[in-house]
Amino acid sequence: MKIFITILLILSSVFGFEYNLKPKKITGDVYCFFGKLENINKQNAGNIVNSCFVQTKEGFVVIDSGPTYDYASQAYVQMQKIAKLPVKYVIITHDHDDHWQGNSFYKSKGALLIGPRTYEQNVVVGTETRMQRILGKELYGKTKIVKLDTIVDGNVSMTVGNEIFEIKQLEPIAHTKGDLIVYLPRSKVLFVGDLVFNGRLTSLRDGSILGSLDALKKIDAYHAKVIIGGHGYQTDTNATHSLKAYLTEMKKEILDAQDHDIGMEEITKMIVMPAYQEMKLYDVLHKRTVLDAYKELEMMEDEE
């Protein structure tokens, strides 16, 4: 097995990693590439994220450009098989690096890049990203950090071809401090980035359990026909339910534990939530998420 992986990495350094991207038509002119439900590693070359695109009469609009330059270039090849159109805009839902490191490819094709204020604050040209550190020089390839063309503060609405794109930040902090959603009112399709996970667990390392729950309520209030999260394959009207149930139960159990003076050193042993143990990345993320939520809820009680 080790020999096989070594051969793959050598071939990747010569020819570039082959992502084998296959777009799935979600509805109308909306397509997505769905990432694996696992952590970033050299075997998947960062392909853990959902990257989508919308075909309009004027050109394509991409929502989240993916983990690397090679990923984006291969996604572009698949788009051109659907229609010989340019990529006009790339909208980044938040500043976690699995979502935006295809930007430099699309920029080279003339696309305009749109994203949250936190991208400008947290993404620094010339610094090593998590993706770069894990993948290494060969797999990271031509990937570069590039600046956005437009920063979204508040709400933005734009028309591209025959489609309206409404871009909005629902909460000051949820998964991160800069999560954007993209809503297509004509087709009632809602792209929500990492405000929604399904099939695997989420992380609160840069976010808030309370903000996440509030954001999920607001997402459901759209009554969208399609809800596309940043990770996971479910895109129907129930796409928020699993994460909402997980965070709601976690909040309740933590508050009950705090009422009984259960300290931080014991909380992860107590709150195991067995109904979610079979979900992807439970062993990696659950304890950390409980700790992050505990700190936030404890601070909330102290302030009261």
- Could you read off the pLDDT of 133-142 as tens digits, one per residue? 999 999 999 9
Amino acid 8: pLDDT: 47
What confidence tier does 300 reach under pLDDT thresholds 50, 70, 90? confident
Q: Which of 187, 267, 184, 179 is nearest to 216 (CA)?
A: 179
Looking at the predicted structure, is the pLDDT value of residue 295 above 90? yes
- Mean pLDDT on 221-225: 98
Closest Cα partner for 96 from 240, 243, 183, 204?
A: 204
pLDDT at residue 14 in the model: 47
In order, the DSSP letters of the chain are -HHHHHHHHHHHHHH--------EEEETTEEEEPPPSS---TTTTT--S-EEEEE-SS-EEEE--BSSHHHHHHHHHHHHHH----EEEEE---S-TTTBTTHHHHHHTTPEEEEEHHHHHH--TTSPPHHHHHHHHHHHTT------SEEE-SEEEEEETTEEEEEE---SSSSSSS--EEEETTTTEEEEEEEEE-SB----TTS-HHHHHHHHHHHHHT--SEEEEEE-S--STTTTHHHHHHHHHHHHHHHHHHHTT--HHHHHHH---GGGTTSBTHHHHHHHHHHHHHHHHHHHHHH-
pLDDT of res. 213: 98
In the chain, pLDDT over 70 holds for what percent of residues? 94
Other beta carbons within 10 Å of 146: 17
Task: Specify the pLDDT at position 16.
Answer: 80
Tens of pLDDT, residue by residue over 6-41, are: 444 444 444 589 999 999 999 999 999 999 999 999
Nearest to 45 by CA among 119, 122, 143: 143
pLDDT at residue 251, as a whole number = 98
The answer to whether the beta carbons of residues 254 and 297 sit under 8 Å apart is: yes
- The mean pLDDT value for 88-108 works out to 98
pTM above 0.85, yes or no: yes
pLDDT reading at 189 higher than 60: yes
| Mean pLDDT of the 278-299 span | 97
Number of C-beta neighbours around residue 19 at 10 A: 22
Q: What pLDDT does 168 receive?
A: 98
Q: Which residue has the higher pLDDT, 302 or 101?
A: 101
- The length of the chain is 304
Distance CA 278, CA 282 (A): 7
CATH class of segment(s) 16-240: alpha beta
Query: Which whole number is the average pLDDT over 144-165?
Result: 96
> So what's the pLDDT on residue 5?
47
- pLDDT score of 15: 53
- Averaged over 230-237, what is the pLDDT? 98
7-11, 49-53, 265-269, 290-294: segment of lowest average pLDDT: 7-11
Are 111 and 88 within 8 A, CB to CB? yes
pLDDT tens digits, one per residue of 103-133: 999 999 999 999 999 999 999 998 999 999 9
Mean pLDDT of the chain: 94
Check pLDDT > 50 for residue 179. Answer: yes
Q: What is the pLDDT of residue 128?
A: 95
Work out the percent of the chain whose per-residue pLDDT is above 90: 91
